[in-house]
């Protein structure tokens, strides 16, 4: 079992190994996905989150073993990069990789500090009367602009992957999670607006985001609004068509006569 620790946690190696060894028997379940599982547990008196990445298939196992960083390593490395550039994310503790006798990746884990947050962007998106909604959207646009200025293209910039903490009256901090899909590059204005498309914004929210981003970037508000609306509309249409086709294929499969 390979373990890489943040310098602040070098003295916790054995305790972290024990948390991983007892992952399936202890801790509080947070997310149970089809392949990945997240639990919380205590590292000393501090609560941490442990994300388990299940064993990939043979092809992906070869890719992750010899040609590309594992999801656990990327989560750890990207978290450190974010913090170095003043972009908030739960503090990275360690990552671990388990390999088989052929040195192929079997499973891996990523640990970070537990963050007690107030809500995610998802709640904001789906509740038009959410308190401070437009103000939070403005501050979220500012946060995303800072991320873009740091050359961060967060490919999973979706409503559930931003945690929000209220730090005072009309003041909110944003934290990114689920970090393993990022690119680090200079972004054109098209790419910047495209990065908002998974937020499932309404036309009203598009206006708020575009105005706040324009004030920071110097780009014309009307230009940003037009690009962002087009990106958002195209994404929604694509997802809606996929869901429609999936339902239609499901109905056809159910109607298929059995022999």
The answer to whether residue 63 scores a pLDDT higher than 80 is no
| CATH 3.30.200 given to domain 2-113 | yes
The answer to whether residue 203 scores a pLDDT higher than 70 is yes
Q: What φ, ψ does residue 144 adopt, rounded to 5°?
A: -65, -40
**In DSSP terms, which residues pair with 152 in a beta bridge?**
184
- Residue 27: DSSP 8-state: S
Parse the chain into domains and list their residue ranges.
2-113, 119-241
Q: Find where tokens 């901090």 sit.
A: 173
192 and 143 Cβ atoms separated by less than 8 Å = no
Q: Model confidence at 246, in pLDDT bands (50, 70, 90)? A: confident
98 and 54 Cβ atoms separated by less than 8 Å = no
Q: What is the CATH number of domain 119-241?
A: 1.10.510
Q: What is the pLDDT of residues 84-114, one digit of tens each?
A: 999 999 999 999 999 876 778 889 999 999 9
161 and 122 Cβ atoms separated by less than 8 Å = no
The answer to whether residue 61 scores a pLDDT higher than 80 is no
| Average pLDDT estimate for 125-143 | 95
40 and 49 Cβ atoms separated by less than 8 Å = yes
Reported pTM: 0.91
- DSSP-H helix ranges across 130-188: 133-149
The answer to whether residue 256 scores a pLDDT higher than 70 is no
Q: Model confidence at 244, in pLDDT bands (50, 70, 90)? A: confident
Other Cβ atoms within 10 Å of 217 Cβ, number:
16
Q: What φ, ψ does residue 87 adopt, rounded to 5°?
A: -105, 125
- Please choose, from the candidates 256, 188, 253, the residue with its C-alpha nearest in 3D space to the C-alpha of residue 227: 188
Q: Model confidence at 252, in pLDDT bands (50, 70, 90)? A: low
| Average pLDDT estimate for 152-171 | 96
């Amino acid at each position: 079992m390979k373990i890489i620790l943040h310098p602040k946690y070098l003295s916790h190696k054995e305790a972290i190994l024990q948390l991983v060894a007892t992952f399936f028997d202890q801790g509080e379940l947070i997310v149970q996905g089809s392949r990945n599982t997240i639990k919380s547990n205590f590292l000393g008196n501090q609560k941490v989150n442990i994300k388990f990445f299940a064993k990939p298939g043979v092809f992906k196992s070869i890719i992750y073993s010899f040609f590309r960083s594992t999801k656990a390593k990327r989560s750890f490395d990207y978290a450190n990069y974010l913090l170095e550039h003043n972009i908030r994310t739960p503090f990275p503790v360690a990552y671990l990789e388990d390999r088989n006798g052929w040195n192929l990746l079997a499973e891996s884990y990523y640990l970070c500090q537990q963050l007690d947050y107030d809500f995610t962007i998802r709640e904001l998106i789906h509740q038009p009367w959410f308190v401070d909604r437009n103000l939070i959207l403005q501050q979220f646009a500012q946060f995303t602009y800072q991320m873009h200025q740091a050359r961060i293209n967060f490919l999973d910039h979706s409503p559930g992957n931003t945690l929000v903490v209220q730090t005072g009256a009309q003041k909110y901090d944003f934290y990114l999670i689920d970090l393993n899909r990022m690119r680090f590059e200079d972004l054109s204005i098209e790419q910047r607006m495209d990065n908002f498309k998974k937020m499932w914004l309404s036309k009203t929210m598009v206006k708020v985001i575009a105005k706040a981003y324009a004030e920071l970037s110097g780009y014309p508000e009307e230009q940003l609004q037009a690009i962002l609306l087009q990106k958002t509309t195209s994404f929604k249409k694509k997802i809606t068509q996929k869901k429609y086709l999936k339902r239609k294929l499901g109905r056809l499969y159910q109607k298929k006569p059995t022999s």
